[in-house]
Structure 1
Amino acid sequence: MNHTAEFDQAISLSRTEDPSGYRADLGDGWRFGTSILGGLLMALAGRALSEDLGKASGHGDPVSVSAHFLSRSLPGPATVRTETLRQGRTVSSGMASIKQGDHERVRVVATFADLAGKTTAKPAWAFSAPPNMPPPEKCVGSEMAPPSLLKEAPFLDRVDLRLAPECVGWALGAPSGQATMQGWLRLPDDRAPDPLMLLLAVDCLPPVSLDLGIPGWAPTLELTTHIRALPAPGWLRLRHSTTLVDNDFMEEDAEVWDSTDRLVAQSRQLTRLGRPDS
């Protein structure tokens, strides 16, 4: 299987006997530690809801997706069950649950619309700017990450992620303390970004806690993503930051900018620090 189709293969679904149910396979290559990457799980739930809401109402694009991670998602078979909560003229809402055996892994509530033709040439107002960083060829590719990290995060082999040079000090034992991560992202072989890929993108950078000198895994408890527009083809620019680390919790805000300098996705997640990935 070539890398071009790998993301789409990872979120592929087949129907079960239950008309609202799907079968999926959570591939080992999308792991961080022992768990499947949260962004991939959001994209998987988004694919199932896109199928159902898109066919029923024409609303196939996620615009707001909130996921609660209830237990550790492991490589292997999974089922996705969806429920339509509301069908409207401009937006529809639904729920998706990802399970492995009797264990519910993720519960998602989302709102979908039809973004095709809705994206104007320029947003009405914009009060933020894309990350200022060197071009991708002057940034640090994930292949240069410490071997221990690559072993723990095989999903890095499935994306083309390049960190801004000022954001890699933590890997050398010298975190900057700026509480920011920035980088470029694309899927291998230039697979064009789309709304489902944006659900993955918001969760691809290393946790900001590493830049603060806090080692270890930062499992996500809740992650909400807003898709603001259809992304243009090309590289995505990512920026993650935090404003508060307290009581072993950290919020992490993400922005995703497309190749036209448009802010196409935003997210906020709550993570738990100081937990071993076991």
Structure 2
Amino acid sequence: MPDTLSEATRSEFDRDTSVRLREPGVHDADLSPGWAIGHALNGGYLLAVLGRALGKTLPHPDPFTVTAHYLSATAAGPAVVRSETARAGRTLSTGTASLFQTGADGEEAERIRVLATYGDLGALGDDVRTSAKPPIMPPREQCFSAQDYPAGPDATPEISKRLDLRLDPATCGWAVGAPSGRGEMRGWLGLADGRDADPLSLLMAVDALPPTAFELGLSGWVPTVELTVHVRARPAPGPLRVCVTTANLAGGFLEEDVQIWDSADRLVTQSRQLARAKLD
């Protein structure tokens, strides 16, 4: 399926997650350094690249559930995504995809492996029975952006320049050396260029906030081991509200549970990931 937007009109997210068909089931990608955290690329950004390739392989348009296992760190540069249809039904289709890069030794290494089921979110009914509640947060203008970071915006990860992220001050104690210990992170989230969220960008959004490990008093890189995302609805235009919680840090690993709410107060995405935490 060819991209329908030209390079000039596509948003930065769309350009940086684009893939080119080499042959059936094989797509080439140029992974952008703009989505890096340190030397490694953000796991949510990479999941969106894989999700786009799967969307061009499977007969249904939208990710419903995507599970990714991160095998090794992925760097900016050329990559190839190999995808395969496992089953194509009338309302759902399931496929697999893997992202590969060629290392300095000239050998190809698998970085991420995904199993996903796609469908059509627009075909779902209107019956919604949700006991969960949207997170209570201050208005966006009262939340902290990268410009408020004590060390200055240039000290934030490269990915922060691609996002319009406003963190709830109640979850920002880590930034001034006073973590709350609660394992929570909340914020308003959009893309910096104003592109509205869609099911594909939600795959990135679940991994866009700083790790809850920071509010637990830890620092450093928190690499994802496994991430499962459920996309429940196409989001309404406007900023998203993202709530991340961790209930258990044990043995150097923690889980992060994410809820994403759209501007219409609808729960549009849920996810859980297992991540490795650096213990001092």
When the two structures are superposed, what TM-score results if normalisation uses the length of structure 2?
0.92
Residue 45 (structure 2) aligned to one of 36, 40, 48: 40
Q: Aligned residue for 1:107?
A: 113
**Residue 158 (str. 1) matches residue 159 (str. 2):** no
Residue 21 (structure 1) aligned to one of 23, 26, 43: 26
Name the CA distance, whole Å, in 1 between partners of 2:8 and 2:266. Answer: 30
> RMSD of the alignment, in Å?
1.8
More helix by share: 1
**Percent of paired sites with the same residue:** 48
Give the 3-state SS of the residue equivalent to 2:18 in structure 1: coil
CA offset digits 1:144-198 (Å, max 9, x no partner): 2244885461010001000001111101000011111000001124211100010
Q: Aligned residue for 1:214?
A: 218
When the two structures are superposed, what TM-score results if normalisation uses the length of structure 1?
0.92
**Alpha carbons of structure 1 residues 224 and 164: separation in structure 2 relative to 1, 3 Å:** same
Name the CA distance, whole Å, in 2 between partners of 1:238 and 1:30. Answer: 19
**2:258 maps to amino acid:** A
**Residue 118 (str. 1) matches residue 119 (str. 2):** no
Native 8 Å contact 2:146 2:153 kept in 1: no
CA offset digits 1:231-255 (Å, max 9, x no partner): 1000000000011000000000000
Give the 3-state SS of the residue equivalent to 2:122 in structure 1: coil
Compute the displacement of 1:22 (Å): 0.7
Counting matched residue pairs gives: 269
The 5-angstrom pairing of residues 73-152 of structure 1 reads 73-101=74-102, 102-118=108-124, 120=126, 123=128, 125-147=129-151, 150-151=154-155
Residue 255 (structure 1) aligned to one of 259, 262, 270: 259
Give the 3-state SS of the residue equivalent to 1:127 in structure 2: coil
Native 8 Å contact 1:4 1:190 kept in 2: no
Native 8 Å contact 1:170 1:176 kept in 2: yes
**Alpha carbons of structure 1 residues 24 and 187: separation in structure 2 relative to 1, 3 Å:** same
